[in-house]
Amino acid sequence: MGRAVDTLTAVGRALVRAPGPRLAEGIVTHAVRRPVDVALAVRQHEAYVAALRSAGWRIRAATAADDQPDAVFVEDALVVCGDVAVLGRPGDPRRRGEIDGAERAARDLGLRVERIEEPGTLEGGDVLQVGDTVYVGRGARTNEEGVCQLARLVGGRKVIPVAVRGCLHLKSAMTALPDGGLIGLPDQVDTSVLPGLQVVREPAGAHMVVLGPDHVLMAASAPRTAARLRADGLRVTSVDISEFEALDGCVTCLSVLVP
């Protein structure tokens, strides 16, 4: 069994940002583009937030960014490590307008703010914290310079770059269980730096938000993985996020948990 995910072992605040009216225009890189029902997405987001609240997390809403189609994926804008919020620099320039609102939210939470500077790029979906280890996906959205800058800003933690392929972010391919064990899709990550990765067959089964020491939040599109985890003794809350999945999103993208 691995070490517990340090930033998620205690209930705290959950930063979210509501989907805006231009959500359907969001960037699609790996999914097959289809129409997005914005009204349904709003309801799904409300249910997602309700699940966080029901698990004891206090909801903090970032200022709306209605001119930014992808702003609902608030995780990509910042990484919280202890009392530090590192503002990302999105690999796709179309998303850089999301950062200002994330900075205001981080300061409202009382966090010390740092930022990734040019030529570095980094999106929070590429950052997975497990104990004192920080795995950082290196691919289309996060580059080597971004990884190096993050390593300096989260000093004292072991930073491990992970090559990703065929997916948007590292956490599109893998996340961590409450005990710190890694779970995901081995064909999309460099498994040589990920000993003990538990393999799943459903893409959405690679994504989970740890809500408590034995509680995870997952997408409803991974029923077999959810059943497996329940059989292992975990409490699983499933939410339908189909309209966000149509935009390469997953459950981790929609919040930043701050203990």
Report which residue type is found at 83.
Answer: D
Give the start-to-end residue ranges of the domains of the chain. 6-258
Question: Model confidence over 13-27: pLDDT tens digits?
Answer: 999 999 999 999 999
- pLDDT of the residue at 5: 43
- pLDDT of the residue at 2: 38
- pLDDT of the residue at 11: 77
- pLDDT of the residue at 165: 96
SS3 230: helix
- pLDDT of the residue at 155: 84
- pLDDT of the residue at 4: 40
- pLDDT of the residue at 9: 43
> Residue 136 belongs to what H/E stretch?
strand 133-138
Is residue 219 a contact partner of residue 228, using CB atoms and an 8 Å limit? no
Question: Model confidence over 211-221: pLDDT tens digits?
Answer: 999 999 999 99
Give whole-number Cα distances, 206 to 191, 238, 248, in Å.
14, 13, 13
Q: Please identify every residue annotated as catalytic.
A: 169, 253
CA–CA gap between residue 18 and residue 32 (Å, rounded): 23
CATH 3.75.10.10 fits 6-258, yes or no: yes
The structure's pTM equals 0.94
CA–CA gap between residue 36 and residue 25 (Å, rounded): 9
Structure tokens at 93: 């320039």
List the chain residues with pLDDT less than 50. 1-9
- pLDDT of the residue at 62: 96
Q: What is the DSSP string of 6-58?
A: GGGSS--EEEE----TTGGG---SSSPP----HHHHHHHHHHHHHHHHHTTPE
